[in-house]
Amino acid sequence: MSDRRAEEEWGVDAAPGDREDAHDLATGVRNYVIGLALAAGLTIASFWVASGTSLIYRPGVPMALAALAVAQMGVHLAFFLHVTTGPDNVNNALALAFGVLIVGIVIAGSLWIMVHLNANMVAPGIMMNMPPQP
């Protein structure tokens, strides 16, 4: 299948390896090597950011690490798992969206609990001065 026909059939939303010519060994290996290089580069960048580089404002380091993590997940999904939103991957895309929703709910709930738990905690000094309860 030609690239033009694949784009007409699947649109431009096709992962590396989705086209019929991806069955060629050289093309498949090339796509995996590109994915490996991108994943390794993002991993090295994450360690570089976490080690305390002066190029990133210190309070922005967690957001930089989060952005690199999302990029790393995107590389794995596209190059290794071949998950796209193409017509033949609708179930994969829905499962991925549901997983993202669940992870978002867990993170939001955890942050909400931590914020409210901290606000409702008694200070240690006040607790030490409280009389014992019978």
pLDDT score of 1: 47
Comparing C-alpha atoms, which of 16, 18, 3, 29 is closest to residue 89?
18
What is the pLDDT confidence band of residue 61, given thresholds at 50, 70 and 90? very high
Domain boundaries, the chain: 1-84, 90-134
Measured distance CA(100)–CA(64) in Å, rounded: 19
Which residue would you say has higher pLDDT here, 128 or 11? 128
pLDDT score of 4: 56
Total-model pTM = 0.60
What is the pLDDT confidence band of residue 117, given thresholds at 50, 70 and 90? confident
Query: What is the pLDDT averaged over residues 11-16?
Result: 58
Measured distance CA(110)–CA(125) in Å, rounded: 27
- Coil, strand or helix at 84: coil
